[in-house]
């Protein structure tokens, strides 16, 4: 049975600080895009699948310009609120637009275990 996740208020989420998974290494390519080097699963199933399919140890994921900017701001110092303000100012978008897009993007990164949110209390 799955545990029910605690519900957080909007204010708690906005004050949360996204942090990168330290197992994921990254660098910038020649176009200035972030390239993530994601390690393969190391559990039993992962090892079996890696042997069968001869998968490389790391998977590469290239982020687009906006994704790269968000990734660089997920440094453990910028809150979600600060990232929203930065993106809205840089790309001349409405706060609401950025807030919705960023929440979906951070959720995707969290589901892939690339980032986590640290709540400030």
Handedness of CA 36, 42, 44, 47 (dihedral sign): positive
Domains of the chain plus CATH, in order, are 10-118 (3.90.930.60)
Handedness of CA 33, 60, 116, 102 (dihedral sign): positive
Model pLDDT, residue 45:
72
Model pLDDT, residue 55:
67
- Segments in the chain below pLDDT 50: none
Model pLDDT, residue 40:
78
CB 99 within 8 A of CB 11: no
Model pLDDT, residue 46:
66
State the Cα–Cα distance between residues 43 and 90, nearest whole angstrom: 41
Count other C-beta atoms under 10 Å from residue 98's C-beta. Answer: 20
Q: Is the pTM here over 0.75, yes or no?
A: yes
């Amino acid at each position: 049975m799955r545990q029910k996740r605690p519900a957080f208020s909007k204010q708690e989420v906005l004050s949360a600080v996204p942090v990168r998974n330290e197992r994921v290494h990254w660098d910038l390519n020649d176009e200035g895009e972030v390239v993530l080097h994601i390690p393969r699963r190391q559990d039993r199933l992962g090892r079996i699948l890696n042997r069968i399919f001869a998968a490389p140890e790391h998977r590469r994921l290239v982020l687009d310009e906006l994704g790269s900017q968000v990734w660089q701001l997920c440094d453990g110092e910028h809150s979600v609120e600060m990232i929203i303000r930065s993106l809205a100012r840089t790309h001349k978008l409405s706060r609401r637009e950025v807030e919705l897009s960023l929440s979906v993007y951070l959720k995707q990164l969290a589901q892939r275990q690339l980032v986590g949110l640290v709540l400030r209390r």
